[in-house]
Amino acid sequence: MRDHKPATLCVHAPDAPGGFEALSSPIHRASTVVFDTPTAFKNRASKVYDGYSYGLYGTPSTRALEDQIAQLEGGSRALVLPSGLAAIAVATIASVQSGDTILLPEGFYGPARTLIESLLSRFGINALRYHGDGLRELSDGAGPAHRLLWVESPGSTTFEVRDVDKMANAARARGMRVAMDNTWATPLGFQPLRHGVDMSMQSLSKYASGHSDVLMGSLAFADESLYRRTKDVARLLGYGVSGEDCFLVSRGLATMPLRLERSVATAAVLMDQLAASAEVTQILHPSRTEHPGHEIFVRDYATGAGIFGVVLRADLGSGSKIDTAFEALELFKIGASWGGAHSLIAPSDPKVGRGDLDWLPDGPYLRIAVGLEDPEDLAADLFRFLDALT
Ligand SMILES: *Cc1c(COP(=O)(O)O)cnc(C)c1O
């Protein structure tokens, strides 16, 4: 660099030395992307899907993570977004217009249900909730205005597993697009794009990032033009993610298979012990033979997740007793989400607002997300809770 004055030298750092090869992914931060010539600058819109035009639309950090996710999902393209909910919003908005109807499951992720039923309804978009696998709703009167089918398998609160091929076939036969929330099983357990789904969504805030410190979501595609149209929506809504967050997710992915395996194995031990205890009426997890969709789970899924539901005996249902029992827990923290190193427990009431849970016994319901602590310590903690109940 020429003999410039200090203020200029403060602004123009020397070029980074080349030849640095590391195993970790570099973190790129940028708003402005610069171009060699005015012509390249004028043509920058051509770099929106590949290459770089503006920090919001992609950096080497986001592109690298998107490529990795596309590969894991068995797709050709992926998009990363600021949260799982943002991914659901973008996939939905990219698929419908005023007058269209979206089919969504009764147990759909709560905030996404509110987005579709409350916010998007203001723009003339209709929501139709289906029961079970939705095949009845898909054959009854599904017409041209039925545009998008959302699939969640397993369901986020009660973990029913669906026959995704069958649902996707029925929807596609009617010209509908199919999107699936694949957060629970991760692409290690299930690859929606190989089962007729057009857009596979994940919350990377769970197992992928794995340490309860990142919010991010992704969409994966097998179809280039669908990817581009969806990317346009994400871009116009101003959604981008930071290089640091991409770094954390990419670092998390490296250990995800091991963490998932451990969480699933510990959950299996805990479920067996809880199932044998007198306070527990039912365990909800697709690996249990009595669980709705168990055969489909065995047929279609390579692995599950270490998250399950527990129904307690109905006579243990008085609120204050349970609240006191939570105080006996030393390791399980009360909180939403899952997929981190820490085990979590959360009371919930899955029957509120749902008409499809006749099979679920009455009684207090807990959702348990198993982390990476020692299984014996976790079991002891849960039994302290059960003892405190009785
Ligand atoms: C957590 C979660 C989401 C939302 O993800 P965020 O990253 O928290 O926005 C969506 N669907 C399911 C099934 C989830 O568990």
Give the residue from 251, 285, 312 where a domain finishes: 251
Same domain, 57 and 165: yes
pLDDT at res. 320: 75
Same domain, 291 and 362: yes
Q: Provide the mean pLDDT of the chain.
A: 94
Ligand 1, residues at Cβ distance < 6 Å: 83-85, 109, 156, 181, 183-184, 203, 205-206, 215, 217, 337
Tell me whether residue 132 is in a domain. yes
For residue range 168-195, list pLDDT tens digits in order: 999 999 999 999 999 999 999 999 999 9
Same domain, 49 and 161: yes
pLDDT at res. 353: 82
88 touches 217 (CB < 8 A): yes
Cα of 202 vs centre of ligand 1, distance in Å, is 7
Same domain, 319 and 201: no
Instruction: Provide the CATH number for the domain around residue 385.
Output: 3.90.1150.10
Band of pLDDT at residue 208, cut at 50, 70 and 90: very high
Nearest alpha carbon, ligand 1 atom 2: 203
pLDDT at res. 156: 82
pLDDT at res. 319: 65
Give the residue from 251, 284, 303 where a domain finishes: 251
Cα of 203 vs centre of ligand 1, distance in Å, is 5
Calpha distance 190→180 (Å, rounded): 11
Is residue 238 left, alpha or beta, with left meaning phi > 0 and alpha meaning psi from -120 to 50?
left
Band of pLDDT at residue 390, cut at 50, 70 and 90: confident
pLDDT at res. 378: 98
Same domain, 204 and 113: yes
Cα of 313 vs centre of ligand 1, distance in Å, is 29
Nearest alpha carbon, ligand 1 atom 11: 109
pLDDT at res. 1: 58
For residue range 30-82, list pLDDT tens digits in order: 999 999 999 999 999 999 999 999 999 999 999 999 999 999 999 999 999 99
Cα of 214 vs centre of ligand 1, distance in Å, is 12
For residue range 338-386, list pLDDT tens digits in order: 999 999 999 998 988 888 888 899 999 999 999 999 999 999 999 999 9
Residue 140 has pLDDT above 80, yes or no: no
Same domain, 236 and 278: no
3-state class (DSSP) for residue 351: coil
Residue 142 has pLDDT above 70, yes or no: no
pLDDT at res. 149: 97
Other Cβ atoms closer than 10 A to 193: 21
pLDDT at res. 141: 66
Task: State pTM to two decimals.
Answer: 0.96
Of 80, 83, 85, best ligand 1 pocket probe by most atoms within 8 Å of the beta carbon? 85
Paired sense of beta strands 177-181 and 146-152, if any: parallel
Cα of 85 vs centre of ligand 1, distance in Å, is 6
Same domain, 331 and 363: yes
Cα of 206 vs centre of ligand 1, distance in Å, is 8
| Helical (H) or strand (E) element with 163 | none
- Structural domain that includes position 366: 257-389
The set of long-range contacts for 289-293, using a CB threshold of 8 Å and a minimum separation of 24, is 291/159, 291/160, 291/161, 292/160, 292/161, 292/359, 293/153, 293/154, 293/160, 293/161, 293/162, 293/163
Tell me whether residue 208 is in a domain. yes
Nearest alpha carbon, ligand 1 atom 7: 84
Tell me whether residue 172 is in a domain. yes
pLDDT at res. 151: 98
Residue 281 has pLDDT above 80, yes or no: yes
List residues bridging with 281 in a β-sheet.
Answer: none
Structure tokens at 275: 């199932």
Cα of 371 vs centre of ligand 1, distance in Å, is 17
Of 152, 156, 184, 348, best ligand 1 pocket probe by most atoms within 8 Å of the beta carbon? 156
